[in-house]
A and B are shown apart, each in its own frame.
Chain A
Protein backbone atom coordinates (compact mmCIF):
# COMPACT_ATOMS: atom_id res chain seq x y z
CA UNK A 1 0.00 0.00 0.00
CA UNK A 2 1.11 3.53 -0.73
CA UNK A 3 1.92 5.50 2.35
CA UNK A 4 2.00 9.27 2.40
CA UNK A 5 3.27 10.64 5.67
CA UNK A 6 2.89 14.23 6.82
CA UNK A 7 5.28 15.24 9.55
CA UNK A 8 2.75 16.86 11.90
CA UNK A 9 -0.94 16.29 12.56
CA UNK A 10 -1.36 19.57 14.43
CA UNK A 11 0.77 22.69 14.35
CA UNK A 12 0.40 26.07 16.01
CA UNK A 13 2.51 28.99 14.80
CA UNK A 14 2.52 32.76 15.13
CA UNK A 15 1.97 35.37 12.44
CA UNK A 16 5.12 36.26 10.58
CA UNK A 17 6.85 32.96 11.28
CA UNK A 18 8.29 30.85 8.48
CA UNK A 19 6.50 27.50 8.55
CA UNK A 20 7.59 24.22 6.99
CA UNK A 21 5.20 21.34 6.30
CA UNK A 22 6.86 18.10 5.25
CA UNK A 23 5.48 15.21 3.25
CA UNK A 24 7.10 11.89 2.36
CA UNK A 25 5.76 9.13 0.09
CA UNK A 26 7.14 5.62 -0.20
CA UNK A 27 5.92 4.48 -3.63
CA UNK A 28 8.27 6.27 -6.00
CA UNK A 29 5.48 8.44 -7.38
CA UNK A 30 6.46 11.17 -9.80
CA UNK A 31 3.59 13.53 -8.94
CA UNK A 32 3.17 15.19 -5.57
CA UNK A 33 0.64 17.78 -4.51
CA UNK A 34 -0.18 20.21 -1.74
CA UNK A 35 -3.80 21.18 -1.09
CA UNK A 36 -5.55 23.22 1.51
CA UNK A 37 -8.98 22.14 2.68
CA UNK A 38 -11.49 24.63 4.07
CA UNK A 39 -15.15 23.96 4.94
CA UNK A 40 -17.43 24.44 1.96
CA UNK A 41 -14.53 25.00 -0.43
CA UNK A 42 -13.30 21.45 -0.91
CA UNK A 43 -9.68 20.95 -1.83
CA UNK A 44 -7.77 23.76 -3.48
CA UNK A 45 -4.45 23.06 -5.13
CA UNK A 46 -1.56 25.16 -3.87
CA UNK A 47 1.38 23.65 -5.79
CA UNK A 48 2.26 20.43 -7.48
CA UNK A 49 5.47 18.78 -8.63
CA UNK A 50 5.98 16.24 -11.42
CA UNK A 51 9.66 15.54 -10.81
CA UNK A 52 12.58 16.42 -8.58
CA UNK A 53 13.17 20.18 -8.55
CA UNK A 54 10.15 20.71 -10.81
CA UNK A 55 7.14 22.59 -9.53
CA UNK A 56 4.06 24.27 -10.89
CA UNK A 57 1.67 26.74 -9.29
CA UNK A 58 -1.81 25.56 -8.54
CA UNK A 59 -4.88 27.67 -7.98
CA UNK A 60 -3.84 29.46 -4.79
CA UNK A 61 -0.02 29.73 -4.63
CA UNK A 62 0.18 33.21 -3.09
CA UNK A 63 2.01 33.21 0.22
CA UNK A 64 3.41 29.71 -0.29
CA UNK A 65 6.45 28.10 -1.84
CA UNK A 66 7.54 24.48 -2.23
CA UNK A 67 10.68 22.42 -2.43
CA UNK A 68 11.32 19.01 -3.93
CA UNK A 69 14.97 18.04 -3.59
CA UNK A 70 14.31 14.30 -3.44
CA UNK A 71 11.66 12.30 -5.25
CA UNK A 72 10.01 11.05 -2.08
CA UNK A 73 9.82 14.37 -0.24
CA UNK A 74 7.75 17.47 -0.98
CA UNK A 75 7.82 20.43 1.39
CA UNK A 76 5.39 23.31 1.66
CA UNK A 77 6.72 26.59 3.02
CA UNK A 78 4.72 29.48 4.37
CA UNK A 79 7.18 32.34 3.94
CA UNK A 80 5.52 34.64 6.50
CA UNK A 81 2.52 33.00 8.10
CA UNK A 82 -0.73 34.93 8.33
CA UNK A 83 -3.98 34.15 10.13
CA UNK A 84 -5.79 33.53 6.82
CA UNK A 85 -3.49 30.56 6.29
CA UNK A 86 -5.07 28.72 9.20
CA UNK A 87 -6.39 25.59 7.52
CA UNK A 88 -6.06 21.86 6.98
CA UNK A 89 -3.20 21.03 4.61
CA UNK A 90 -3.22 17.78 2.66
CA UNK A 91 -0.33 16.24 0.76
CA UNK A 92 -0.92 13.69 -2.01
CA UNK A 93 1.08 11.68 -4.51
CA UNK A 94 0.27 9.81 -7.70
CA UNK A 95 1.69 8.16 -10.77
CA UNK A 96 2.01 10.54 -13.74
CA UNK A 97 -1.14 9.41 -15.52
CA UNK A 98 -4.55 11.03 -15.32
CA UNK A 99 -6.34 7.69 -14.83
CA UNK A 100 -4.45 7.09 -11.59
CA UNK A 101 -5.90 8.16 -8.23
CA UNK A 102 -4.10 10.38 -5.79
CA UNK A 103 -2.96 8.96 -2.44
CA UNK A 104 -3.32 11.30 0.52
CA UNK A 105 -1.65 11.80 3.84
CA UNK A 106 -3.71 12.31 6.99
CA UNK A 107 -3.32 16.08 6.87
CA UNK A 108 -1.79 18.80 9.02
CA UNK A 109 -4.16 21.09 10.86
CA UNK A 110 -2.29 24.39 11.03
CA UNK A 111 -3.34 27.25 13.27
CA UNK A 112 -1.73 30.65 12.89
CA UNK A 113 -2.21 32.88 15.94
Chain B
Protein backbone atom coordinates (compact mmCIF):
# COMPACT_ATOMS: atom_id res chain seq x y z
CA UNK B 1 0.00 0.00 0.00
CA UNK B 2 1.09 3.52 -0.69
CA UNK B 3 0.91 6.55 1.52
CA UNK B 4 1.90 10.19 1.24
CA UNK B 5 2.75 12.47 4.16
CA UNK B 6 3.03 16.20 3.79
CA UNK B 7 4.86 17.19 6.90
CA UNK B 8 3.51 20.72 7.26
CA UNK B 9 -0.17 21.62 7.08
CA UNK B 10 0.58 25.36 6.88
CA UNK B 11 3.71 27.28 5.93
CA UNK B 12 3.80 31.06 6.41
CA UNK B 13 6.65 32.87 4.67
CA UNK B 14 7.56 36.42 3.75
CA UNK B 15 7.63 37.55 0.14
CA UNK B 16 11.00 36.99 -1.61
CA UNK B 17 12.06 34.41 1.01
CA UNK B 18 12.86 30.81 0.03
CA UNK B 19 10.42 28.05 0.85
CA UNK B 20 10.47 24.26 1.09
CA UNK B 21 7.32 22.14 1.28
CA UNK B 22 8.07 18.64 2.48
CA UNK B 23 6.66 15.38 1.17
CA UNK B 24 7.49 11.84 2.19
CA UNK B 25 5.97 8.72 0.70
CA UNK B 26 5.97 5.02 1.29
CA UNK B 27 5.31 2.36 -1.28
CA UNK B 28 6.07 -1.30 -1.88
CA UNK B 29 6.26 -0.71 -5.64
CA UNK B 30 7.94 1.82 -7.92
CA UNK B 31 6.10 5.10 -8.19
CA UNK B 32 5.90 8.31 -10.15
CA UNK B 33 5.76 11.55 -8.14
CA UNK B 34 3.80 14.73 -8.73
CA UNK B 35 3.22 18.13 -7.16
CA UNK B 36 -0.03 19.98 -7.82
CA UNK B 37 -1.12 23.49 -6.85
CA UNK B 38 -4.64 24.64 -6.03
CA UNK B 39 -5.38 28.37 -6.09
CA UNK B 40 -8.48 29.60 -4.23
CA UNK B 41 -11.74 28.47 -5.82
CA UNK B 42 -10.00 26.43 -8.48
CA UNK B 43 -9.16 22.82 -9.16
CA UNK B 44 -5.68 21.35 -8.95
CA UNK B 45 -3.12 21.96 -11.67
CA UNK B 46 0.18 20.22 -12.26
CA UNK B 47 3.33 21.97 -11.04
CA UNK B 48 5.87 19.29 -11.88
CA UNK B 49 6.43 15.55 -12.03
CA UNK B 50 9.25 13.08 -11.53
CA UNK B 51 9.21 10.06 -13.81
CA UNK B 52 12.86 9.00 -14.10
CA UNK B 53 16.34 10.38 -14.77
CA UNK B 54 17.65 13.48 -13.05
CA UNK B 55 16.46 13.69 -9.48
CA UNK B 56 16.04 17.47 -9.69
CA UNK B 57 12.88 18.38 -11.52
CA UNK B 58 11.91 21.88 -12.59
CA UNK B 59 8.31 22.95 -12.91
CA UNK B 60 6.21 25.98 -13.65
CA UNK B 61 6.37 29.30 -11.80
CA UNK B 62 9.99 28.79 -10.68
CA UNK B 63 9.30 25.73 -8.51
CA UNK B 64 11.55 22.70 -8.40
CA UNK B 65 11.58 19.43 -6.50
CA UNK B 66 14.20 16.85 -5.64
CA UNK B 67 13.55 13.14 -5.57
CA UNK B 68 15.49 11.32 -2.86
CA UNK B 69 15.00 7.59 -3.16
CA UNK B 70 16.88 6.64 -0.01
CA UNK B 71 14.79 9.01 2.10
CA UNK B 72 11.62 8.41 0.06
CA UNK B 73 11.10 12.15 -0.16
CA UNK B 74 10.07 14.59 -2.86
CA UNK B 75 10.36 18.07 -1.36
CA UNK B 76 9.21 21.15 -3.29
CA UNK B 77 11.30 24.31 -3.26
CA UNK B 78 11.26 27.85 -4.56
CA UNK B 79 14.17 30.23 -3.99
CA UNK B 80 12.04 33.39 -3.82
CA UNK B 81 8.28 33.36 -3.36
CA UNK B 82 5.70 35.90 -4.51
CA UNK B 83 2.36 36.87 -3.02
CA UNK B 84 0.75 35.08 -5.96
CA UNK B 85 2.22 31.75 -4.77
CA UNK B 86 -0.28 31.72 -1.91
CA UNK B 87 -2.17 28.48 -2.52
CA UNK B 88 -2.50 24.90 -1.36
CA UNK B 89 0.06 22.41 -2.60
CA UNK B 90 -0.47 18.67 -2.93
CA UNK B 91 2.09 15.93 -3.30
CA UNK B 92 0.91 12.78 -5.09
CA UNK B 93 2.31 9.35 -5.88
CA UNK B 94 1.18 7.07 -8.66
CA UNK B 95 1.82 3.34 -8.74
CA UNK B 96 3.87 2.68 -11.91
CA UNK B 97 1.82 -0.37 -12.72
CA UNK B 98 -1.49 1.19 -11.83
CA UNK B 99 -2.83 2.23 -15.22
CA UNK B 100 -3.16 5.79 -14.06
CA UNK B 101 -5.82 5.19 -11.45
CA UNK B 102 -3.76 4.31 -8.41
CA UNK B 103 -2.77 7.80 -7.35
CA UNK B 104 -2.63 8.84 -3.71
CA UNK B 105 -2.68 12.50 -2.69
CA UNK B 106 -1.23 14.00 0.45
CA UNK B 107 -3.37 16.10 2.79
CA UNK B 108 -1.99 19.33 1.37
CA UNK B 109 0.19 22.21 2.59
CA UNK B 110 -1.21 25.72 2.70
CA UNK B 111 1.43 28.26 1.72
CA UNK B 112 0.80 31.80 2.95
CA UNK B 113 3.07 34.44 1.47
CA UNK B 114 3.11 37.67 3.46
CA UNK B 115 4.16 41.10 2.24
- Which residue numbers of A lie inside 8 Å of B, CB to CB? 4, 9, 31, 33, 35, 40-43, 48, 50, 56, 90, 92, 94-102, 104-107
- A29, closest chain B residue (CB): B100
Are A101 and B105 in contact, with the CB atoms below 8 A?
no
- Which residue numbers of B lie inside 8 Å of A, CB to CB? 9, 32, 34, 36, 41-46, 49, 51, 90, 94-103, 105-108
- A104, closest chain B residue (CB): B43
- Distance from B40 Cβ to chain A, minimum over Cβ atoms (Å): 11
**Which residues of chain A have C-beta atoms less than 8 A from B49's C-beta?**
99, 101
- Distance from B21 Cβ to chain A, minimum over Cβ atoms (Å): 14
**Which residues of chain A have C-beta atoms less than 8 A from B108's C-beta?**
40, 42
Determine the distance from Cα of A56 to Cα of B98 in the docked complex, in whole angstroms: 13
Provide the main secondary structure of the chain B interface: loop
Determine the distance from Cα of A107 to Cα of B9 in the docked complex, in whole angstroms: 21
**Which residues of chain B have C-beta atoms less than 8 A from A97's C-beta?**
99-100
Please pick, from A33, A56, A99, the residue contacting B94 in the complex, using a CB distance under 8 A. A99
How many residue pairs link A and B with beta carbons under 8 A? The number is 67
Enumerate the 9 nearest inter-chain pairs by beta-carbon distance, A residue then B residue, closest first. Answer: A104-B43, A42-B107, A43-B105, A101-B46, A104-B44, A98-B94, A98-B98, A42-B105, A106-B43
**Which residues of chain A have C-beta atoms less than 8 A from B46's C-beta?**
101
Determine the distance from Cα of A94 to Cα of B44 in the docked complex, in whole angstroms: 13
Are B103 and A102 in contact, with the CB atoms below 8 A?
yes
**Contacts A/B (CB < 8 Å), 22 sampled:** A31-B100, A31-B101, A35-B105, A42-B90, A43-B105, A50-B99, A90-B43, A90-B44, A94-B100, A95-B100, A97-B99, A98-B96, A98-B100, A98-B102, A99-B32, A99-B49, A99-B51, A101-B34, A101-B36, A102-B103, A106-B41, A107-B41
